[in-house]
Amino acid sequence: MSATLDPSTRLLTEAAHAKINLYLHVTGKRADGYHLLDSLVVFAGAGDRLRYEPGPEPLHLELAGRFGATLGADAAGPDNLVMKAAAALRAASAPTAHIQGGRLVLEKELPVASGIGGGSADAAAALRLLSRAWQANVPEETLLQIAEKLGADVPVCMASQAARMEGIGEHLSAAPMLPACGMVLVNCGQAVSTPDVFRKRDGAFRERAVLPAGWSDAQSMVADLVKLDNSLEVPACMVCPPVRTVLTSLADQPECLLARMSGSGATCFALFPSSLAAQNAAGALAAAQPSWWVWGGGLV
């Protein structure tokens, strides 16, 4: 059945969840300048949402949501990662595919250029959604190659499930069994450029982490995570000093188990024993700092 005949909204919407790096070790650097990473990636309930209404060509994108306007004037054009994903999928689709135009609406609820991979999650959501809607029939392996070309974080966002990420982001393996826990995300409002932060990183490379098969509770996970770190936290603080204030504010919250920066920043996360504890902390932080973006809840 073609996507135009299918009235199901579920088929034509996709969540683009925030990607959080529980730790991020920069373990080396490739000849082309890209950095080798070792990271445990999880996905938070927070996210953007992508909707598709199939229609005549051309395909166009509309931006909505809290951060829809932050992306800039040309943001809905061909440089948007959603449109890049659509173009790449169109080129790789099977001859039998039902490619259409119509309207994509991106509800942008995640802060932009903030270390939680919002753009990457949007690109992955577009690949999942349009593959289905267009019956593109693109092999999984080709989809992952397309994802890799769109950005280092896009492959892990395809499944949107906890994973260990290595290489420059293309080597994915199973994450340890994760315990239930709560998470708070805070962004101070300053966009941070990923290449700038990588450029500022200095000093020895970190080793690949040794991880257990799983953790039974949040406390034992944190006991291991504190031995690891985010290699980009120090350079990100040089680029964006308010990250330090955010980390201190998170660590000061009752029941906070760990406060750390995600990706290349500036968004920081804190782990809590439960979603309820995280929601309480998020409420307190949002009241104290109305200009910050604050989210509290659980993992996907």
Ligand X SMILES: C[C@@](CO)(OP(=O)(O)O)[C@H](O)COP(=O)(O)OP(=O)(O)OC[C@H]1O[C@@H](n2ccc(N)nc2=O)[C@H](O)[C@@H]1O
Q: 10 Å Cβ neighbour count for 183?
A: 25
- State the nearest-atom distance from the C-beta of 178 to ligand ADP, in Å: 21
**Is-cis flag, bond preceding 155, omega within 30?**
no
Q: Phi first, then psi: what are they for 23, rounded to 5°?
A: -145, 160
Binder of ligand ADP out of 21, 39, 80, 230 (CB under 6 A): 80
Distances (CA, A) of 91 to 58, 59, 99, 247: 15, 14, 10, 44
Q: Phi first, then psi: what are they for 213, rounded to 5°?
A: -70, -20
Binder of ligand ADP out of 54, 263, 273, 296 (CB under 6 A): 263
**How many angstroms separate the CA atoms of 41 and 297, rounded?**
17
Q: Return all residues near 29 (Cβ < 8 A) that are at least 6 apart.
A: 35, 36, 205
Binder of ligand ADP out of 68, 118, 235, 273 (CB under 6 A): 118
Which one, 37 or 59, has the nearer CB to ligand X? Answer: 37
Which one, 109 or 218, has the nearer CB to ligand ADP? Answer: 109
Residue 168 binds which entry of ligand ADP, ligand X, none, with Cβ cut-offs from 5 to 8 Å by kind? ligand X
Does 203 belong to an annotated binding site? no
Does 39 belong to an annotated binding site? no
Report which residue type is found at 23: Y
The answer to whether the CB of 222 falls within 8 A of the CB of 257 is: yes
Residue 198 binds which entry of ligand X, ligand ADP, none, with Cβ cut-offs from 5 to 8 Å by kind? ligand X
Catalytic positions: 19, 153
Write out the binding residues for ligand ADP, residues 170-209 only, by CB under 6 A. 194
Dihedral-angle region of residue 112 (phi above 0 means left; psi in -120 to 50 means alpha; beta otherwise): beta
Binder of ligand ADP out of 117, 155, 182, 296 (CB under 6 A): 117
Chain centroid to CA 201 = 21
Residue 24 burial (10 A CB sphere; 0-12, 13-18, 19+)? buried
Q: 10 Å Cβ neighbour count for 51?
A: 16
Does 169 belong to an annotated binding site? no
Which one, 120 or 131, has the nearer CB to ligand X? Answer: 120
Report if residue 116 touches ligand ADP, rule: CB under 6 A.
Answer: yes
Residue 81 binds which entry of ligand X, ligand ADP, none, with Cβ cut-offs from 5 to 8 Å by kind? ligand ADP
Report if residue 115 touches ligand ADP, rule: CB under 6 A.
Answer: yes
Residue 104 binds which entry of ligand X, ligand ADP, none, with Cβ cut-offs from 5 to 8 Å by kind? none
Does 120 belong to an annotated binding site? yes
Binding site for ligand X (CB under 6 A): 21, 24, 34-35, 37, 39, 115-117, 120, 151-153, 168-169, 194-195, 198, 263-264
Distance in Å from the first CA to the final CA of the chain: 30
- State the nearest-atom distance from the C-beta of 79 to ligand ADP, in Å: 6
**How many angstroms separate the CA atoms of 285 and 106, rounded?**
27
Which one, 135 or 161, has the nearer CB to ligand X? Answer: 161
Structure tokens of 295? 């989210």
Which one, 92 or 192, has the nearer CB to ligand X? Answer: 192
Residues that bind ligand ADP (CB under 6 A): 80-82, 112-120, 122, 153, 194, 263-264
Binding positions are: 111-121
